[in-house]
Amino acid sequence: MTAGRAEFRELARQLRSVNAVNRELARHLPSDCPPASAGLLSLLRRHGEIRMSELTELLGIDMSVTSRHVAHATERGWIERHPDPHDGRSRLLRLTESGDRQLDDLSERATDTLAHRLYDWPDDDIAALNALLDRLRTSFCPAQIPTARDSSKK
């Protein structure tokens, strides 16, 4: 690695500015689906059925905050809770068909916004940005925690 502190300082500045992009994308979310709800739904799609404690760990927030987000999404019919067959004290969370449709809509909104804002970018630049962001994300993602689905395979 030959990048110096100045390059990493500039990278940190650029990454802070990515928050402005995320805020712009969030402006296009439906009023009843704040960014936290969108993130919760995305995690449930990616991980399948999981316990509340696992969701809390994945979100990196307090259990009480997770409970509020889950209640919000449950009230809208985007997720459902049911008993964990392997642990009667636990409840599993699962994305519903309505939640799946909501995620598809959110994805379309984000895609439309990005396509509109980046219409004049060459395809190669978009591909390069996708590849670099994926590489950056991979460098920072913690190891995936096992989910209820994984532990039931034992």
The tens digit of pLDDT for each residue in 23-51 reads 999 998 888 999 999 999 999 999 999 99
Give the residue from 73, 1, 64 showing the smallest Cα distance to 34.
73
Burial of residue 20 (CB within 10 Å: 0-12, 13-18, 19+) is exposed
| Predicted local confidence at residue 154, as pLDDT | 44
- The domains of the chain, with CATH numbers, are 29-151 (1.10.10.10)
The tens digit of pLDDT for each residue in 81-106 reads 998 888 878 889 999 999 999 999 99
Q: At CA 139, angle to CA 136 and CA 22, rounded to 5?
A: 40
Burial of residue 75 (CB within 10 Å: 0-12, 13-18, 19+) is exposed
Give the other-Cβ count within 10 Å of 8's Cβ: 11
Percent pLDDT > 70 in the chain is: 90
- CA 94 – CA 74 distance, rounded (Å): 10
- CA 45 – CA 147 distance, rounded (Å): 13
pLDDT at 3 over 80: no
pLDDT average, residue stretch 43-68: 91
Half-sphere exposure of 50 (CA within 13 A, CB side): 23
pLDDT at 147 over 90: no
pLDDT average, residue stretch 104-131: 96
Residue in this structure with the two tokens 């409840």, named with its chain if needed: 91
